Structure 1
């Protein structure tokens, strides 16, 4: 009786040799991908982001805010202490594309923050960003 399906052509190779021949393109592909990511990783000009808690990040964080509000109620703009009369003149002009950044101490009461926000609203600041520290 003749077989309905002819046996697969093996060209005289054993099973191990056929498996090795099938793995060679896969090995080549993995090697090319590895080379691609090595080259692509070298092309970036941006440095790696700073790790949380690093000294450089702590220095940059203090300069991010336009207005610092410690718990003692003394407002600071660019490191200078200002009172309510000088506050609006010391702050940058209201800008609809850039919100005013406020860094408030966690011990600041809501009443003090509310009075500050009312003063800023009277000065034309409609977009305010309140900066916070991540919880530990």
Structure 2
């Protein structure tokens, strides 16, 4: 009778290779889903453009004051009443970055109750 020598068990590498291959295929497919921009296209640079609030926007200051076109606004209802009929459906507000979120939500709710169909918050967008 021959003696059976136990073989050293090898690590199964085939499943690991399969997983790496599937990940490679996934990232190749996911990377080509987005259509690249035309190479001749030059995007607009807004780095040196000074931002200004839209003229019809309600400015909400950090201390709770509201202004429009440099004049003090006493309430959301007064602001809505001062607008022409065609501008009362979509109201734009520009909040100060230090304005508490609770005040922003309260003013948005007050504008909706005063008759605004939608309230849009105008913010600064930074692309880096």
Structure-2-length-normalised TM-score: 0.52
The CA deviation string for residues 21-79 of structure 1, in whole angstroms up to 9 with x for no partner, is xxxxxxxxxxxxxxxxxxxxxxxxxxxx974243xx426x2235511111111101122
Q: Is the 8 A contact 2:60 2:67 kept in 1?
A: yes
Task: Give, in whole Å, the separation in 2 of the partners of 1:134 and 1:70.
Answer: 19
User: How many residue pairs get matched?
Assistant: 83
- Max radius of gyration: which structure? 1
> In angstroms, what is the RMSD of aligned CA positions?
2.6
Runs of 4+ in 1 over 6 A off after TM superposition: none
Structure-1-length-normalised TM-score: 0.50
- Residue 75 in 1 paired to residue 69 in 2? no
Corresponding residue to 1:87 among 64, 75, 79: 79
Which sections of structure 2, spanning at least 5 residues, go unmatched?
1-42
TM-aligned CA distance change 1:92 to 1:120, over 3 Å: farther
